[in-house]
Amino acid sequence: MRVYISVDAEGCTGIFKLSQVMPENPAYEFCRRMMEGDANAAIAGAFKGGATEVVVNDAHNNGDNIRIDRLDKRARLISGKDRHFSMMEGISGEFGAAMFVGYHSRKGERGVISHTYYYSEIQEARINGEPVGESEINGFLAGSFGVPLAFLSGDQHITESIKAKVPGIRTAATKRAIGHASAECVNPEISWKMIEEEACAAISGLIRHSAAPLAAPPVRPMNDAPYLLEIRFATPGHANRASLLPGSSRISATEVGFNAADYRDVFRAFLCLVTLASTFRENG
């Protein structure tokens, strides 16, 4: 079985505040080591569970956090910023399972450094009326290829949330979130052992029993476009920039929508909308 792993930073072992995941901060070196350690634990678990091949996508920021010489040599690594599928670059129907490592809660929810793709621009994202975060947005994309989400690690809020949405998923709570920038953490060796064990159980379980992929919530077709994406931005200025995308519609002063028949088009539109919005500056 080929296994795809998307690795973010905010939900990784030992991470509890935003400055740790920012490249310009001295604490960033620690973040890189934790991302690499969590990724290696997931890789080891996947192979132990029966994986024949593992591909890792460095999904945080510009995709230049994980160092290839620090990664389990059995895995391949996708790095870099200009990726059409961003946090999910490389996903395809050739994979038998997807695993999300170091993930976090969506903007507005409880959890360490909770946000949705961007820290300040996006206030809420909805698909077919349901609020979603990165685990759903990315998980639906995997599902569009028929790839089930088998494992997720992060704090207790995101792990409990995803278990309610994906029956049978295996999770590893790397820390107990106290606030947005505080957490009760465990030693990395303890966390990595847990990630490896749960990742192993996830893959071995999938090999024995197939699982259904994560699918976007159903909605009545509208103009033969059953997927409705809605994003509420921080300011009307962000929405102005986002609404430059052809096919988008202005819902309100701060909200922009997009309809599509194919979820992959919705995912691409999401990336375009938030990228356009990020170019807005209050001072012009």
Residues marked active site are found at 115
Q: Which two tokens stand for residue 228?
A: 């409705």
* Tokens 């992060």, located at residue: 154
Nearest to 66 by CA among 150, 148, 5, 2: 5
**Is 140 within 8 Å of 159 (Cβ atoms)?**
no
What SS3 class is residue 115? coil
| Pair of tokens at residue 56 | 């890792």
Place of tokens 């909308």: 273
Tell me how far apart the alpha carbons of residues 229 and 213 are, in angstroms, rounded to a whole number. Answer: 20
Contact at 8 Å (CB) between 267 and 143? Answer: no
Distance in angstroms (rounded) separating the CA atoms of residues 15 and 7: 14
Measure Cα distances from 146 to 51, 78, 143, 258, 284 in Å.
17, 21, 5, 23, 43
- Given CA atoms 94, 44, 188, 199 in this order, what sign does their dihedral have? positive
